[in-house]
Amino acid sequence: MNPTHPYVWNYLPLALQLLVAIGLAGGMVGASFFIGKKRPSKVKAGAYECGMDPVGDARGRFSVRFYMVAMLFILFDVEAVFMLPWATVFRQLPALTGSKFFGFNEMIVYLGFVAVGLFYVWKKGVLDWGNDKADL
């Protein structure tokens, strides 16, 4: 800490960066509002849903398979989050734990649990989209 100026001055670069970011974002939105062409139409004002025309009630029921696939995505996303730190310190694990294969064995156990979950949903037919009779 420099004794010649107050501690608050250390936050000056952060404040300037925030001002530039807010100014840049506001400037781009404002420029597109003033410069952009405005041609409203029924198609532009309509709802856009993944490139398909929205039909039916928005409160329709979804297939349970949709939620199962969402949970599978979360499962494998969390798997990747757990494997990255493990891979980062893999070479240092023998020195940290005192065992040569401790980190490797723990990852095998973890991947075993993930494989059991994948095998379960595979046998339940969640991944077989060809037989899905849902109205999605």
HSE, side-chain direction, 13 A CA sphere, residue 60 = 10
**Residue 82 belongs to some domain of the structure:** yes
Amino acid identity, residue 105?
Answer: N
Is pLDDT at 22 greater than 90 in this prediction? yes
Q: Is residue 131 part of a domain?
A: no
Residues 39 and 45: beta-carbon distance below 8 Å? no
Per-residue pLDDT tens over the stretch 64-93:
777 878 888 888 888 888 888 888 988 898
Is the sign of the CA dihedral 62, 65, 67, 69 positive or negative?
negative
> Does residue 132 sit within a domain?
no
Task: Say if 49 falls within a structural domain.
Answer: no
Query: What tens digit of pLDDT does each residue of 86-102 get?
Result: 889 888 988 888 888 88
93 within domain boundaries: yes
Residue 49: strand pairing partners: 52
17: in domain:
no
**Domain count of the fold of the chain:** 1
